[in-house]
Amino acid sequence: MNVRADFPGLPQDWHYLDTAATAQKPQAVIDAIARNYGEDYATVHRGVYRRSSDMTLRYEAARKAAADFIGAASPDECVFVRGATEAVNLVADSWGQANLGDGDRIMLSVLEHHSNIVPWQMLAERVGATIDVAPLTEDGHIDLDWVEANLTERHKLVALCHLSNSLGSVLDARRAADLAHKVGAKLLLDGCQSAPRLAIDVQAMDCDFYVFSGHKLYGPTGIGVLWAKGDILNAMPPWQGGGSMIDKVSFEGTTYAPAPGRFEAGTPHIVGAAGLHAAIDYVNAIGVDAIERHERRLAAKAREALGQVNSVSLFGPNDGVGIVSFAVEGVHPHDVATILDEEGVAIRAGHHCCQPLMEALNVPATARASFGVYSDESDVEALVRGVERVRKIFG
């Protein structure tokens, strides 16, 4: 796979290994953003003039592209949001507030991103619910056997990461859905890392909610998607009030638009949706299956090479997708990242918004290399050279 030239943010002497945090943007996305902020720009869902009508069609075409990308039954099941964080908060504050009460339970796992922990904690505090936390298997997967043994009819929601942003481990999503539904619970999947790396079919997985962010999918920041099964979404009360989400407003009372408009109050991120559409088209042209194979191969190559370096510890499964977390004995990950930066290698160092996971791993932080469609063997080689330099500097 040789697409590096498509990404103007990647000079040849720089090795970008922080795609799990945010992906670089192909020129096609940048061009779409510029065009839609320029000669094509107008508002949506309001103007009757030609350009506004055209922009509305493009905005809704982006919704259809997002729906098709994840196998949704209808574009109306997809709500545009600022990102996955907002999507989880929307579900917690709308569906959760309406469906959970005192004594109910929520099932999470120890490897969740803070965005899939804190909104549920806030909800639990408001309604009197309790949170249970599933442990990991020895190789870094969510322990679904433990989940099965501990789910009860008091559980109303299971919210799990589909692909770990720290370990690269992939959840058996269909089994998780079956387990949740067996006790009458709903399943929410955090798809931030899986949407750019795995072929997604929400109907086949049978989850109830799926969330992802555009900027990790080679698209712009400030745009993301909440998908929910149609009957669930249509029954959810509005979350924010304002323009566009209404049917009729009077001081005697207001009626609301059907989903998804009910959840898109105010002027939306019009150009963000256009940029997301361009990103989806770009990924589809390459093929998500090809991207998964590419990132699995690079992650495996990196794990194999780092595993041969003395004093390097690896975290997560050997078959992880696109993400490799590691530590160098006696060296703080921030120091590892600083030295690698001097070598032209950009990685993430820290807790990766997964502090409970770091506690479970018994480390303060890890160094994380994450690959993208534009990564290649030279990035792995530069990473390993940089780690060898870390060892020499710290003895």
What's this model's pTM, rounded to 2 decimal places?
0.97
Three-state secondary structure readout of 30-93: HHHHHHHHCCCCCCCCCCCCHHHHHHHHHHHHHHHHHHHHCCCCCHHHEEEECCHHHHHHHHHH
Report how far residue 238's alpha carbon sits from residue 260's, in angstroms, rounded to the nearest whole number. Answer: 10
Strands 130-134 and 105-109: parallel
Number of H-type helices and E-type strands within the chain: 14, 15
Catalytic (active-site) positions:
353
pLDDT for position 269:
97
How far, in Å, CA of 9 to CA of 30, rounded? 11
Query: What local confidence, expressed as pLDDT, does residue 212 receive?
Result: 98
CA atoms in the 13 A half-sphere facing the CB of 104: 23
The reported pLDDT for the residue numbered 40 is 96
Distance CA 299, CA 373 (A): 12
Of 54, 20, 61, nearest to 295 (Cα)? 20
Sign of CA dihedral 307, 164, 321, 143: positive
Pairwise CA distance, residues 361 & 172, whole Å = 22
pLDDT at residue number 46? 85
Residues in contact with 342: Cβ distance below 8 Å, sequence separation at least 6, in sequence order: none
What residues in the chain have per-residue pLDDT under 70? none
Q: What is the pLDDT of residues 302-337, one digit of tens each?
A: 999 999 998 999 999 999 999 999 999 999 999 999
Give the model's pLDDT for residue 47: 83
Q: What is the pLDDT of residue 343?
A: 96
Listed in sequence order, the residues at least 6 apart from 168 whose beta carbon sits closer than 8 Å to its beta carbon are 299, 316, 317, 320, 321, 322, 323, 324, 325
Q: Kindly give, in sequence order, each residue whose CB lies less than 8 Å from that of residue 287, ignoring residues fewer than 6 positions away.
A: none
Structural domains in the chain, sorted by start:
28-284 (3.40.640.10), 288-394 (3.90.1150.10)
> Cα dist. 91→43, 94, 140, 237, 357 in Å?
27, 5, 27, 10, 23
Q: Which residue has the tokens 């589809």?
A: 284
Closest to 85 in 3D by CA, of 213, 184, 179, 201? 213
